[in-house]
């Protein structure tokens, strides 16, 4: 496994094509009379990652893989992003999904599709999943 975004795993051999990280910084520009403007550092912007994927019928069902991504994106779910070596990158949301069909059958079934997703660092509160209780549950005997 090369990386994992939430429960979605990206396999290097099968369909992972690349990862690009973007870090940027925020400056305010203040105009000055008869002089060049001056910049004031305001802070760091959120980190963005561009992930290139290729879904091919020989190793997956392209429609199912795209559905996994769009389902998570539609829910605006913050996801932990972890590299295959265990390095924790942070929490991100899917900001953009682009896809290009590279190959299809004569019936229109997808054979190969290139998918580019952009994820953006998420700094808000992460929703917690409800905890499951272990053991036997008691029956409600009140009537």
| Structural domain includes residue 142 | no
| Structural domain includes residue 37 | yes
Within 6-121, residue ranges assigned H as helices are 62-74
Which of 12, 15, 43, 8 is closest to 27 using CA atoms? 43
Q: Report residue 79 as tokens.
A: 């996801």
- The CATH code of the domain that includes 30 is 2.40.30.200
Number of domains composing the chain? 1
84-143 confidence digits (pLDDT tens): 788 899 999 999 999 998 888 888 888 888 999 999 999 988 777 666 666 666 666 665
| Structural domain includes residue 135 | no
* Distance, CA of 141 to CA of 35 (rounded, Å): 82
CA 98, 95, 121: angle at the middle one, nearest 5?
A: 135
Q: Is the pLDDT of residue 64 over 70?
A: yes
32-61 confidence digits (pLDDT tens): 999 999 999 999 999 999 988 888 888 888
Which of 130, 120, 112, 63 is closest to 93 using CA atoms? 120
| Structural domain includes residue 131 | no
* Distance, CA of 85 to CA of 97 (rounded, Å): 25
Q: How confident is the model at residue 11 (pLDDT cuts 50, 70, 90)?
A: low
Q: Report residue 84 as tokens.
A: 């295959």
| Structural domain includes residue 141 | no
Give the HSE-up count for residue 78: Cα atoms under 13 Å, Cβ half-sphere.
12
| Structural domain includes residue 48 | yes
Residue range(s) defining the domain that contains residue 112? 3-121
Number of helices and strands (H, E) in the chain? Answer: 1, 9
pLDDT attached to residue 143: 57
């Amino acid at each position: 496994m090369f990386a994992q975004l939430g429960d979605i795993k990206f396999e290097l051999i099968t369909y992972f094509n690349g990862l690009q990280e973007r870090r940027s910084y925020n400056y305010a520009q203040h105009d000055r009379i008869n002089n060049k403007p001056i910049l004031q550092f305001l802070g760091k912007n959120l980190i963005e990652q561009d992930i290139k994927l290729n879904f091919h019928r020989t190793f997956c069902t392209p429609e199912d893989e795209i559905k996994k991504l769009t389902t998570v994106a539609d829910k605006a779910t913050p996801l932990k992003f972890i590299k295959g070596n265990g390095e924790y990158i942070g929490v991100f949301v899917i900001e953009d999904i682009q896809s290009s069909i590279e190959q299809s059958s004569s019936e229109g079934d997808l054979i190969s599709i290139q998918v580019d997703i952009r994820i953006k660092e998420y700094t808000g509160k992460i929703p917690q999943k409800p905890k499951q209780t272990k053991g036997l549950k008691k029956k409600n005997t009140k009537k």
